[in-house]
């Protein structure tokens, strides 16, 4: 279906008028070709991240595929869709009580904090951690989250390997996390 | 103006109603400033940190009505940390000291404590109306003090608040002498309700016109209440599901026909289809219907009730209504002005849901439509263009396509042209929320055409800084801009810094703003608070280790005459 859509001003190049740096856009009235890189055959189920640069990476395949994997029904996107908490099914008592724990990676100065109440499984947690602490191998690809060794300090002060106990038990007792290199 | 004595000027100002006009009037000359400030009765503070409470009260000692807003809008979606701020107590304390004649207080997205409520209850002898929207931090104990000490209370309206349940007795604290209630809304309370106390309270308040109950109020209780409150105009039911073989059910079926004045219906928490039939007798006079908390009511039952509501002006439903149901709305509700369609099932693609077809039908059948909130799975440019043509009167247009960045499914194009048509056609558009795949182009259109736009919400849109720059350079009436997950960086942030002083606030999260960019903004604009909300970083690391290139997760920028706030938590830095 061809769309003939014209919303431009009668004359003149608006971009030039506004004094903005020009690039390839010479007309404000055009059918924009679509960057197949992003949408290809199937739309990503929930989450698409757009690169900030104008020369959008044709090389950005790997990054995009990684991000596609991120969406497996776990709540990685905070606050989306923009629906008040009182309308969300299955979240008793309105606002979720946050459960933030500190995360440090061996050898990295700056720590992060992760809100465990936004995750419902170890898989979801590892995905978030891999976003926070991306591991770069020499070819620039990000490594599989499963290769992380993550330990946690439990309520008794002992350091345990993450993943051994059921998720519900884990989130009750975890005090903080440490990722081993 | 020296010709007129003050009383005359004051009398003239009585006719100057709106806040903006009164603000303008006060800037004309000193004499007018004085007359205006002493005769001002209502003050609205859009951002509680834009000005200190004492300063407001000192300037307007005669105010009877105060309205204050706290957290940024995105707090509704958990994007603002729990203890960010927005405390009501300083406002209550200042008012108690400087404006004891206060009669109405309206707070939105603020932290209100039981202590604050008690101070409020005890400090204002003429207090009549308390409205709390999306607030938190208080419990039913605080409500008990309001009930106890606010003699002559007319309105207690609690909408969407987080209220800690400390028992059901707060309703019993309304003394027997309290007969003045006109409006009582406690729909957001989660705990048990003392049915007897509620029924007695309703029975002794002959002026009660608006009553909204919480899910804990049983149908049995509702029946008793309805028997004694036949003058109600606005009713929010409690629980609305009972077995149809019970006496309670039969009583319910007979409760509604006698309501001659009922115009608004809401509540319907977990309503069942057979109970919903009880309200059929009043449907023909309804102007407002909210069924958005009734997931058990499916398309066909919704259609049955909507068919009767030909005077409806405002309709809130779940997307289980489907395009088919919306077609019925279009053919029945010719007076419709506001439509909100909420998603039933957030995390998966629902079997019944709504698409562009439903909205097209409504736009074509309901010529008075001016306010929309629509969650759907897809939208097309063609539909938006037609909708824009059908409904040029939109003042609020909020479209949420659930899949972020989803293009027009028919053409695979971004939705730039569709939204462009909306802003071009709807000259009175004040509020706009965008979604779907959008490039910088849509922002070009918004900057060019959306002259009356005051609030813009953007998510997962744009290609470059240009997008944000188009908006900041256009939209001369823009007051609130909230952006999440867009590729806008420092160049956009710093392109038109003077703009931020003409706006109430800017929110940006998960964009490309750096610490250096914010520092530059703060340095150029001393009358802005540039807040960095950094939940993820260790506090002590911030000062030493973070370079100016460090990307910031959340920033909140707002104009203020009060300087940096002194109640910010550890993770908020005001530059």
Instruction: State yes or no: pLDDT of A24 exceeds 60.
Output: no
Contacts of B412 in chain A (CB under 8 A): 34, 39
Q: What percent of chain B has pLDDT over 90?
A: 82
Cβ distance B79 to A110 less than 8 Å, yes or no, reads: no
* β-pairing verdict for B288-290 and B528-533: unpaired
Q: How confident is the model at residue A48 (pLDDT cuts 50, 70, 90)?
A: very low
Instruction: State yes or no: pLDDT of B458 exceeds 70.
Output: yes
Contacts of B545 in chain A (CB under 8 A): 109-110
Q: Please give the average per-residue pLDDT across A9-31, as a whole number.
A: 37
Facing residue for A87 by CB, picked from B342, B402, B473 = B342
- Rounded to a whole number, what is the distance in Å from the CA of B502 to chain A's nearest CA? 20
Instruction: State yes or no: pLDDT of A62 exceeds 60.
Output: no
- Residue B521's alpha-carbon distances to B506, B509, B562, B574, in angstroms, are 12, 16, 18, 12
- What pLDDT is recorded for position B545? 63
Q: Please give the average per-residue pLDDT across B470-492, as a whole number.
A: 96
Peptide bond into B287 cis (omega under 30): no
- Rounded to a whole number, what is the distance in Å from the CA of B452 to chain A's nearest CA? 19
Q: Please give the average per-residue pLDDT across B479-501, as a whole number.
A: 96
Facing residue for B400 by CB, picked from A81, A98, A113 = A81
Q: Which ipTM value was assigned to this complex?
A: 0.86
B271-323, pLDDT tens digit by residue?
Answer: 999 999 999 999 999 999 999 999 889 889 999 999 999 999 999 999 999 99
Cβ distance B487 to A45 less than 8 Å, yes or no, reads: no
* β-pairing verdict for B554-559 and A159-161: unpaired
Cβ distance B448 to A14 less than 8 Å, yes or no, reads: yes
Looking at chain A from residue 66 to 125, which residues have their Cβ under 8 Å from any Cβ of chain B? 73, 77-89, 93-96, 98, 100, 102, 109-113
Q: What percent of chain B has pLDDT over 70?
A: 97
Q: How confident is the model at residue A39 (pLDDT cuts 50, 70, 90)?
A: very low
Name the residue of chain A whose CA is nearest to B347's CA.
Answer: A73
* Owner of token pair 């300083």: B90
| Helices B6-13 + B30-39 axis angle, to 10 | 60
Instruction: State yes or no: pLDDT of B240 exceeds 80.
Output: yes
When mean pLDDT is compared across A16-20, A173-177, B414-418, B470-474, the lowest value belongs to: A16-20
Most confident of A28-32, A153-157, B351-355, B473-477: B473-477
Instruction: State yes or no: pLDDT of B103 exceeds 90.
Output: yes
Question: Greater confidence, B422 or B36?
Answer: B422
Residue A154 CB neighbours (<10 A): 17
The structure's pTM equals: 0.80
Cβ distance A32 to B414 less than 8 Å, yes or no, reads: yes
Cβ distance A79 to B487 less than 8 Å, yes or no, reads: no
Residue B2, burial from CB neighbour count under 10 angstroms (0-12, 13-18, 19+): exposed
- Closest-CA residue to A164 (of A147, A151, A155, A179): A151
Contacts of A87 in chain B (CB under 8 A): 292-293, 342
- What pLDDT is recorded for position B26? 85
Question: Greater confidence, A69 or B125?
Answer: B125
- Dihedral sign for Cα atoms in the order B39, B45, B49, B53: positive
- Rounded to a whole number, what is the distance in Å from the CA of B211 to chain A's nearest CA? 20
Residue pair A152/A160 in contact (Cβ under 8 Å)? The answer is yes
- Closest-CA residue to B53 (of B40, B68, B39): B68
Most confident of A116-120, B21-25, B167-171, B521-525: B521-525
Inter-chain Cβ pairs, chain A and chain B, closer than 8 A = 143
- Rounded to a whole number, what is the distance in Å from the CA of A4 to chain B's nearest CA? 10
Name the residue of chain A whose CA is nearest to B78's CA.
Answer: A79
Facing residue for A7 by CB, picked from B188, B292, B420 = B420
Contacts of A56 in chain B (CB under 8 A): 463
């Amino acid at each position: 279906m061809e769309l003939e859509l014209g919303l431009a001003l009668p004359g003149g190049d608006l971009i030039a008028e506004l004094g903005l740096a020009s690039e390839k856009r010479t007309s404000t009235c055009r059918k924009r070709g679509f960057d197949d890189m992003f949408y290809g055959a199937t739309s990503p189920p929930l989450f698409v991240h757009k690169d900030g640069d104008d020369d959008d990476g044709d090389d950005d395949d790997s990054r995009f595929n990684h991000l596609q994997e991120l969406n497996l029904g776990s709540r990685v996107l905070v606050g989306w869709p923009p629906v008040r908490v009182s309308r969300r099914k299955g979240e008793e008592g309105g606002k979720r009580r946050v459960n933030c724990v500190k995360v440090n990676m061996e050898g990295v100065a700056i720590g992060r904090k992760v809100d465990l109440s936004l995750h419902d499984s170890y898989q979801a947690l590892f995905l978030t951690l891999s976003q926070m602490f991306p591991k770069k191998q020499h070819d620039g690809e990000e490594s599989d989250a499963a290769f992380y060794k993550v330990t946690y300090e439990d309520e008794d002060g002992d350091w345990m390997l993450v993943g051994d106990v059921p998720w519900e038990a884990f989130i009750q007792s975890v005090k903080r996390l440490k990722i081993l290199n | 103006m020296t010709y007129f004595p003050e009383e005359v000027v004051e009398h003239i100002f009585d006719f100057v109603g709106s806040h903006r006009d009164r603000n303008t009037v006060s800037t004309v000359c000193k004499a007018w400033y004085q007359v205006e400030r002493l005769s001002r009765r209502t003050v609205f503070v859009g951002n509680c940190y834009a000005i200190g409470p004492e300063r407001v009260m000192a300037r307007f000692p005669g105010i009877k009505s105060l309205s204050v807003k706290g957290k940024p809008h995105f707090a509704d979606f958990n994007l603002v940390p729990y203890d960010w701020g927005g405390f009501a107590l300083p406002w209550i304390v200042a008012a108690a000291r400087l404006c004891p004649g206060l009669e109405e207080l309206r707070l939105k997205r603020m932290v209100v404590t039981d202590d604050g409520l008690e101070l409020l209850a005890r400090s204002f002898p003429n207090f009549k109306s308390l409205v709390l929207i999306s607030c938190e931090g208080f419990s039913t104990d605080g409500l008990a003090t309001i009930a106890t000490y606010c003699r002559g209370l007319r309105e207690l309206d609690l909408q969407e608040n987080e209220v800690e349940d400390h028992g059901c007795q707060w309703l019993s604290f309304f003394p027997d002498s309290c007969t003045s209630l006109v409006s009582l809304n406690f729909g957001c309370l989660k705990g048990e309700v003392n049915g007897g106390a509620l029924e007695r309270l309703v029975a002794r308040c002959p002026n009660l016109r608006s009553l909204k109950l919480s899910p804990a109020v049983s149908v049995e209780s509702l029946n008793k209440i309805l028997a004694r409150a036949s003058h109600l105009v606005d009713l929010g039911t409690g629980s609305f599901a009972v077995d149809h073989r019970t006496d309670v059910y039969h009583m319910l079926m007979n409760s509604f026909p006698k309501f001659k004045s009922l115009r608004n219906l809401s509540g319907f928490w977990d309503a069942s289809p057979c109970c919903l039939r009880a309200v059929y007798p009043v449907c023909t006079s309804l102007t407002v219907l909210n069924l958005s908390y009734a997931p058990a009511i499916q398309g066909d039952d919704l259609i049955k009730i909507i068919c009767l509501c030909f005077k409806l002006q405002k309709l809130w439903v779940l997307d289980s209504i489907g395009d088919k149901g919306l077609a019925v709305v279009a053919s029945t509700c010719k007076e419709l002005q506001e439509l909100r369609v909420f998603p039933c099932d957030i995390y998966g693609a629902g079997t019944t849901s709504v698409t562009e077809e439903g909205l097209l039908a409504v736009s074509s059948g309901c010529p008075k439509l001016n306010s929309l909130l629509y969650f759907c799975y897809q939208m097309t440019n063609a539909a938006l263009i037609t909708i824009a043509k059908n409904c040029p009167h939109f003042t609020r247009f909020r479209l949420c396509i659930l899949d972020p960045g989803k293009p027009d499914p028919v053409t695979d194009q971004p939705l730039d042209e569709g939204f462009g048509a909306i802003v071009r056609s709807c000259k009175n558009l004040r509020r706009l929320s965008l979604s779907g795949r959008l490039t910088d182009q849509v922002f070009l259109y918004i900057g060019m055409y959306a002259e009356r736009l005051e609030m813009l919400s953007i998510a997962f849109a744009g290609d470059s800084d240009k997008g944000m720059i188009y908006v900041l350079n256009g939209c001369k009436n823009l007051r609130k801009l909230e952006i999440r997950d867009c590729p806008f960086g420092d160049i956009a942030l710093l392109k038109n810094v003077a703009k931020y002083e003409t706006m109430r606030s800017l929110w940006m999260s998960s964009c490309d703003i750096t610490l250096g960019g914010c520092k530059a903004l703060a340095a150029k604009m001393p009358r802005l608070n540039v807040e960095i909300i950094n939940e993820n970083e260790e506090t002590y690391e911030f000062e030493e280790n973070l370079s100016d290139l460090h990307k910031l997760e959340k920033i909140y920028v707002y104009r203020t005459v009060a300087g940096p706030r002194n109640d910010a938590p550890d993770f908020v830095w005001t530059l």
